[in-house]
Amino acid sequence: MHIHFLDPYQPRTSPIHALDARIKFVLTVAFILTVSLTPVAAWPVYILLLALILSVEILSGLGSGYVLKRALLALPFVLAALPVIFPLKGTSLFTIPLGSWTLTASLEGLERFIGVALKSWISLQAAIVLASSTPFPELLQAMRAVGIPRLLVGMFGLMWRYLFVLVDEALRLMRARAARSGQSAEAGKRRGGSVAWRARVTGGMAGNLFLRAFERSDRIYVAMLSRGYDGEVRALPLLPLTSRGWLALAAGLFLLLLLLLFGILFWG
């Protein structure tokens, strides 16, 4: 089966891949909610949650290295939470003078920042496992099966499909530019002109890409409407969950609830 380089799905033969998409979607959402609601100072619960998601990664056949490398994408966004180190009062760690102001970093603020970073990192791993073990059409079906509104699911589906349209148009522009770009035979001489010229060409390509992708997406949508598209993705009806599936769902939800209560009771 051909997989597009933008598609995160990784076909494997594993219990996680074989699990029903509805169960995986519900458990992933429940896992992320559990991580989000866990108190900041409940470090043992974070360790248990991390061990749980690492076990799922290994069981899925994806490997922890594959998921952890992609979870590093969360680190730049975690830096947005860095200011929480300063507003909280508590044990002073260091101070930063800023003119007439003085910022004081506290131990409590550092704990909150580490908690936010851990929550983001662990939650992103769960989302990566879900996307890598479930084809996107099955995810859309799972969303509709659990009651997510049709309009929202339709937006997810169209946004995903038009992402490939945008990349396809960008590749066409890159091929056209390469076909029309000459290269000097002199050794060491770079292709193209000055930095300003390159910036002007790049800006023109970006505008052209937007117009071409917009026009093509409009043609695709009109073609979909002419074929009866009304916002609902038509698919074969899903099979009812088996007793084993219900058992896996109940066991997963019970374990997550137990971890959440454990964190709230002892560190809440």
Q: What is the mean pLDDT of residues 81-106?
A: 76
Separation CA 30–CA 42 (nearest Å): 18
Query: Quick check: 9 and 132 in contact, CB under 8 A?
Result: yes
pLDDT band at 268 (very low <50, low <70, confident <90, very high): low
Q: Where are the domains of the chain?
A: 15-147+237-267, 149-178+205-235
Token reading at 140: 């859309």
Backbone φ, ψ for residue 232 (5° rounding):
-110, 130
pLDDT band at 189 (very low <50, low <70, confident <90, very high): low
Task: Check residues 133 and 163 and name the one with the higher pLDDT.
Answer: 133
Query: Quick check: 39 and 268 in contact, CB under 8 A?
Result: yes
The CA-atom distances, in angstroms, between 67 and each of 73, 92, 252 are 11, 36, 21
pLDDT band at 55 (very low <50, low <70, confident <90, very high): very high
Q: What is the pLDDT of residue 20?
A: 93
pTM of the model: 0.82
Separation CA 209–CA 169 (nearest Å): 7
Q: What is the pLDDT of residue 174?
A: 81
Find the range with the poorest average confidence among 38-52, 120-134, 135-149, 163-177.
163-177
Q: How many CB atoms lie within 10 A of CB 252?
A: 20
The CA-atom distances, in angstroms, between 173 and each of 56, 143, 146, 184, 205 are 41, 35, 41, 22, 7
